[in-house]
Amino acid sequence: GQAALADADLAGCPDRPAIRARLELLANVEKFGLPFRAGDRYFYSHNSGLQNQSVLYTMHSLSDSPLVAFDPNTLSADGSLAVNGYVPSHTGHLLAYGVSVSGSDWTEWHVRDVASGHDLPDVMRWSKYYAPEFSADDAGLYFGAFPAPPAGQELRAQDLGHGVLYHALGSASASDRIVLRIDGHPDWQYESHLTHDGRWLVAVVGEGQVG
């Protein structure tokens, strides 16, 4: 593709090795992400310098030794599968993570048991742009999704028919129920947030992508 064409054209550039070495030196810096807390756990991301993606670590207290909560570099050898967001459950026992395939806006949300490191069978598909939200009892997630596009049209389908759905953990995706989708406005999109007491789901609505 474009990368192969660029590499073939730039291969003969005599200054390329020196430029690459300099850029690699500048990029090889340890990086920490902003920490966050959920339930009895702290989470933070860390990159040793040249890792393709930062690793998410967890600990129960600030004096504990950190443990790997999720390493996105293990998803694919070539880095084509990238994690574009994490959402912890209220107790911190579960972690939803979004996977973007080959840089696409389409995101699949998976759920991992943090203690065991194993994924639950639940997958929320056809999502774009907005992170899901765990219900107050951590029994499920609210997430924004579009109707499944026809096979082969995934990168051409218009962003129409967005809605907020609820997925109960352990249930089939076919049983996900639509919580909010306003008929007559197929171009509207919804970014939802759960209030602290868990009683209300507040949606920010936009004509097209919110924000």
**Could you give the CA distance from residue 115 to residue 16 in angstroms, rounded to a whole number?**
45
What tens digit of pLDDT does each residue of 91-114 get? 999 999 999 977 789 999 999 999
pTM: 0.87
Enclosing H/E stretch for 96: strand 94-101
Pick the closest to residue 93 from 107, 72, 73, 111 (CA basis): 111
**Residues listed for the chain:** 211
Q: What token pair was written down for 177?
A: 């129920």
Look at residue 82 in the predicted model and tell me its pLDDT: 92
Residue 111, both tokens: 């759920």
Is there a contact between 189 and 210 (Cβ–Cβ < 8 Å)?
Answer: yes
Please, which residues have CB within 8 angstroms of residue 51's CB and are 6 or more apart in sequence? Answer: 73
pLDDT tens track for 163-205: 999 999 999 999 999 999 999 999 999 999 999 999 999 999 9
95, 69 Cβ separation under 8 angstroms:
yes
Backbone φ and ψ of 15, nearest 5°: -90, -5
pLDDT, one tens digit per residue, over 127-164 is: 999 999 999 999 999 999 999 998 888 888 899 999 99
